[in-house]
């Protein structure tokens, strides 16, 4: 059987293998990464449309609502515009790389994967990485703020998340520097190790804040189980509330990506795209609830507010039950 030698960019410093099985493994690995990158771009385009819909619904709710504007509403509108701008940069740079790799430079020596490895640190990819890191830092800061709100201004619960956020800021800059330098490779060498630390920090932050928010909402739901208050319960104690308030999809996609990235699995690039998109979509869903006055606020999280809001439609409650809900504040 005749063996056809195929150079692989990651192994150009080694002699070419003469074993067909090794060559076939390399081809399969390259094909898996290219397919994952392509599917990731498809999902990017779809989810970008979802983000646009959420953004314009948020703006519509802000300008058309009859409720009095809060000072924070303007901040959320600016925040929404900035994250939309950043995710637009991320999506555009990913699409440009795909176009350059598969269409414009289709005849590149070594194939599409060789072009991908050679240009993974090109200037527009570095710009896209910078946009995604800034977007993650903004989203994580919003999650910390929401955690602070749900926990009624309890600073103790913010100690670990704030330390992780500051650490992720430092390693985000290092990741951008190492992967964006000449011959830098997000999937290999020092850049890959720094990237693993960075994503471990930021996704660890996501897990902690998500658990804190979910736990707090579920705790209040259990406290109110003897005081049905259907109107309040429908707004504040539903599955949708837990998913949106805690940015659960953002965290779950982040965990999946981190596991695959740590295992050096080429499908990690697909989940990186999904994680990047929900870095924008999850906070936008939360902001839409805030603007519509359906999200948790400092007043909502007060136990006395919840008890008295539902008392008229509930069974009689005892003082000890109310004290139980208040004891964790």
Tokens (6 digits) for 135: 């977007």
pLDDT at residue 85 tops 60: yes
Q: Which residues contact 318 (CB under 8 A, 6 or more apart)?
A: none
d(Cα 101, Cα 179) in Å, to the nearest integer?
19
- Kindly state the average pLDDT of the residues 25-51: 85
- Kindly state the average pLDDT of the residues 65-77: 76
- Tell me, yes or no, whether 4 lies in a domain: no
- Tell me, yes or no, whether 57 lies in a domain: yes
Range of the domain at 53: 29-326
Phi and psi at residue 122, to the nearest 5°: -65, 160
- Are 261 and 199 within 8 A, CB to CB? yes
As for how many domains the chain has, the answer is 1
- Are 225 and 310 within 8 A, CB to CB? no
The total of other beta-carbon atoms located within 10 Å of residue 196's CB is: 16
Quote the longest CA-to-CA distance of the chain.
85
| 189/61: higher pLDDT | 61
d(Cα 71, Cα 20) in Å, to the nearest integer?
66
> What is the helix (H) or strand (E) element at residue 326, kind and residue range?
helix 319-326
- Tell me, yes or no, whether 6 lies in a domain: no
Least confidently predicted of 102-106, 190-194, 237-241, 258-262: 237-241
pLDDT at residue 223 tops 60: yes
Q: Give the pLDDT confidence score for residue 187 in this predicted structure.
A: 67
pLDDT at residue 286 tops 80: yes
Per-residue pLDDT reduced to its tens digit, 115-138: 887 887 788 888 998 999 999 999
Tokens (6 digits) for 191: 């850049």
Secondary structure letter of residue 133 according to DSSP: H
pLDDT at residue 150 tops 80: yes
- Tell me, yes or no, whether 78 lies in a domain: yes
- Tell me, yes or no, whether 3 lies in a domain: no
- Tell me, yes or no, whether 17 lies in a domain: no
What is the residue-averaged pLDDT of the chain? Answer: 78
Query: Cα 222 vs. chain centroid, distance in angstroms?
Result: 29
pLDDT at residue 10 tops 80: no
Give me the CATH number covering residue 236.
1.20.1070
| 252/222: higher pLDDT | 252
Q: Give the pLDDT confidence score for residue 296 in this predicted structure.
A: 67
Least confidently predicted of 139-153, 193-207, 267-281: 139-153
- Tell me, yes or no, whether 5 lies in a domain: no
Secondary structure class of 151 (helix, strand, coil): coil
d(Cα 198, Cα 193) in Å, to the nearest integer?
9
Q: Give the pLDDT confidence score for residue 30 in this predicted structure.
A: 79
> What is the helix (H) or strand (E) element at residue 34, kind and residue range?
helix 20-64
Per-residue pLDDT reduced to its tens digit, 226-282: 555 555 555 556 777 777 777 888 999 999 999 998 888 889 899 999 999 999 999
- Kindly state the average pLDDT of the residues 209-231: 73
- Tell me, yes or no, whether 2 lies in a domain: no
- Kindly state the average pLDDT of the residues 206-225: 81
| 167/61: higher pLDDT | 167
| 215/140: higher pLDDT | 140
This prediction has a pTM of 0.79
> Over pLDDT 70: what percentage of the chain?
73
Burial of 265 (0-12, 13-18, 19+ CB in 10 A): middle
């Amino acid at each position: 059987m005749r063996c056809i030698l195929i150079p692989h960019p990651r192994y150009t410093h080694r002699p070419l293998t003469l074993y067909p099985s090794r060559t076939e493994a390399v081809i399969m690995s390259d094909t898996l990464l290219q397919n994952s990158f392509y599917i990731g771009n498809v999902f990017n385009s779809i989810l970008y449309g979802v983000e646009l819909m959420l953004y314009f619904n948020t703006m519509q709710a802000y300008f058309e609502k009859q409720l009095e504007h809060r000072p924070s509403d303007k901040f959320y509108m600016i925040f929404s515009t900035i994250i939309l701008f950043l995710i637009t940069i991320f999506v555009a740079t990913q699409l440009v790389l795909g176009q350059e790799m598969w269409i414009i430079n289709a005849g590149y020596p070594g194939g599409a994967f060789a072009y991908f490895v050679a240009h993974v640190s090109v200037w527009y990819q570095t710009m896209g990485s910078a946009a995604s890191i800034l977007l993650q830092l903004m989203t994580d800061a919003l999650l910390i703020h929401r955690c602070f709100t749900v926990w009624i201004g309890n600073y103790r619960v913010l100690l670990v998340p704030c330390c992780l956020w500051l650490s992720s800021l430092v390693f985000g800059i290092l990741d951008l520097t190492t992967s964006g330098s000449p011959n830098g490779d997000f999937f290999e060498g020092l850049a890959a190790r720094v990237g693993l630390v960075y994503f471990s920090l930021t996704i660890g932050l996501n897990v902690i804040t998500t658990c804190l928010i979910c736990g707090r909402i579920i705790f209040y739901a259990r406290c109110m189980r003897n005081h049905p208050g259907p109107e309040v319960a429908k707004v504040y104690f539903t599955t949708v509330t837990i998913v949106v308030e805690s940015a659960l999809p953002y965290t779950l996609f982040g965990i999946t990506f981190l596991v695959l990235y740590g295992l050096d699995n080429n499908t990690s690039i697909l989940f990186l795209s999904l994680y990047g998109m929900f870095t924008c979509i999850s906070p936008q869903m939360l902001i839409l609830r805030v603007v519509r006055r359906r999200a948790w606020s400092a007043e909502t999280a007060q136990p006395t507010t919840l008890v008295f809001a539902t008392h008229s439609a509930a069974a009689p409650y005892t003082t000890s039950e109310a004290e139980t809900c208040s004891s964790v504040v």
